[in-house]
Chain A
């Protein structure tokens, strides 16, 4: 089930960026957003409402962007937003359903210094 859900969600961004750059993050969820208004043509039964309610984006464990959706968002919802790159780290995105089933997608963002070295979130000296 988890593996199947992972295939239906997509995340895309520029993998290696410089410090202070605005990264465009594009997400897509394959989901048939039922509005709860449609009826079956033959039987006349209403399809029950089932939409993605909220999307939360985290960058290194900190919430960066939130979206609350209603029935007016199209099927297979696409979302694009921006993040400033400070240090390399994890980008997590969480989709929450009407049944409170959540699905995740994550990826690693590599941030490079002016000299070409990677900027790590944990600073240590030898």
Chain B
């Protein structure tokens, strides 16, 4: 195989892997926006805390502990965190005027509190956890790390489960109903308050798992959630605000672009290139790729 073909294929594989994780974070943001029509600025903190939860469990139970156990503990913990967050931070503010903006500000404040708590509890030095698997596997002449492959599979699995939940279960359909018409959802008897809680809970799980999947490669730090958070904004806007399909597609597109930029230019050019891509797409499709907007 020509070395340049090899390089492109490696880039594609890296791009798909990182893209799948970005899809998780972006879906969490898109889900909360779709249901509540506002942005949770603490989303990045859930990403960070998911990774810190995993690190803590490893410290407590030893590095040999299976990732399955970690997920089994962390997922309910993250869901509860998100759900409680909705109940004590978001819900009380819903009766206020300008609540959309107030919620953004309050969640921003909460993010800073969560990040500072992480700083105090875990210290400023970056931490890491071992990858899911070691080793590589050969597909033809290309070497793929098993860890990257598992990340991709886990992310795809979660996205598929989420899609199934939203389309085939009653509560998932109720969530879509709340997203499409809040008054309509109320008048058919859906307790939209509860649905708001579910959406925050699920988004926390998505962000936290993404944090755990990326932790071995990108390290864990108290403010580490902000870059993924900003990236998920770009992804959601590129995909089209309000579109889940769009968020997933945009995540993969931008993931591949990131991998290529890192490979052929340098890491520092990733964000500028992302912004340029977003701007160009928005010129031709102002609502994003699959834009809905409301």
- Do A and B interact with each other, yes or no? no
**Residues in A lying within 8 Å of B, measured CB to CB:** none
Interfacial residues, chain B to chain A (CB-CB below 8 A) = none
